[in-house]
Amino acid sequence: MRRLDGQRALVTGASSGIGAATAQLLAREGADVALLARGEAGLLRVATRVREEGGQAVVLRADVADRAALEDAIAEGVRQLGGLDVVVVAAAAGAFGRFDEIPPEDFERCVRVSLGGAVDTIRAVLPELERTAGRLVVVGSAVDEIELPLLSPYVAAKHGLHGFLNSLRADLRSGGSPVELSEVRPGAVDTPFWLHLTHPGRLVPPTIPPLTTYTAETVARAVVACAIAPRRSITVGGSTVLLSLAERRARPLMERAFALVGRFARARARPDPARQGLWEPSGEGILDGHLHGRPSLLAALRLRGARPRGGVESS
């Protein structure tokens, strides 16, 4: 039996990576899905997969950093689906480089997409979720407590998002809201995010060791599990949990280790003249970033009761 039969879902960042994988798994569980992102090509590919799973797919083109366009797109999604029961906030953007290398406008754009876009999405969908006693699942990041170098705007945004969600959860409880709020906190994930990072010199970060990266499908399974059986927060990946523990217990050592990682990554970065992901639509319906991500045994064990079945297409 499909566990989300008749449910209506909205996914931001749906044209690639975690958002695209999540949309397909939601449809497999019986949901109709509104897909929201900037790029048309990726949205259409993901919409095809949603329909192949038996779900209705609504394509919504909007930049989450444009509040008016975002609100209009969400309103259209609500109109076409007849309401919302599940909302997944997965849109994010990053810039690569040392803080003093990143132009102010690039820094602000990253924060506007990853934090401001999430806040504006939640503000727009909350009235609908209040009406249906719905579920809100937000893709955060373990960098909200890990000192990741060369990604300062993304880290700042995810720190802010984590704090906002904690405050929002308290507000929902104090107001007697029926909305269930879950946060999914992955570590490094093998998605096109790494291919779309923007650098003022068009540099691309070196490949991350496969040991530390997880597949987009692994994170999407955690997201859909929270849509089925909400939980406050889940961290995806055993290595992510270990890094978080090390950060709490041995912060000075971790600071030195990440400083070395930052120097290595900056020295090994290579130029890519076509790099435009921060400001231009970039989603092509692809799930991975060619980093050889792996599944998470820990997440599979923790989510076994609500874990979605089957695999998803990667390209």
pLDDT band at 314 (very low <50, low <70, confident <90, very high): low
Check residue 4 and give its pLDDT: 97
- Rounded to an integer, the average pLDDT of 27-31 is 97
At residue 133, does pLDDT exceed 60? Answer: yes
* Interior/surface letters 265-304, b for 16+ CB within 10 angstroms, e for the rest: bbeebeeeeebebbeebbbbbbbbbebebbebebbeebbe
At residue 45, does pLDDT exceed 90? Answer: yes
Check residue 313 and give its pLDDT: 59
- Rounded to an integer, the average pLDDT of 194-208 is 71
Higher pLDDT, 314 or 150: 150
Check residue 302 and give its pLDDT: 62
At residue 225, does pLDDT exceed 90? Answer: yes
Check residue 59 and give its pLDDT: 98
Query: Range with the lowest mean pLDDT among 11-20, 64-73, 168-177, 205-214?
Result: 205-214
Active site residue: 154, 193, 194, 214, which one? 154
C-alpha distances out from residue 132 to 7, 9, 126, Å = 10, 12, 10
Percent of the chain scoring above 90 in pLDDT? 59
Higher pLDDT, 253 or 275: 253
Token pair 């490949």 is found at 207
Higher pLDDT, 276 or 89: 89
pTM of the model: 0.88
CB 109 within 8 A of CB 279: yes
Report the chain's mean pLDDT, rounded to a whole number: 86
List the one residue out of 152, 188, 258, 48 whose CA is nearest residue 59.
Answer: 48
Domains of the chain: 8-302 (3.40.50.720)
At residue 124, does pLDDT exceed 80? Answer: yes
Active site residue 214: no
Higher pLDDT, 187 or 167: 167
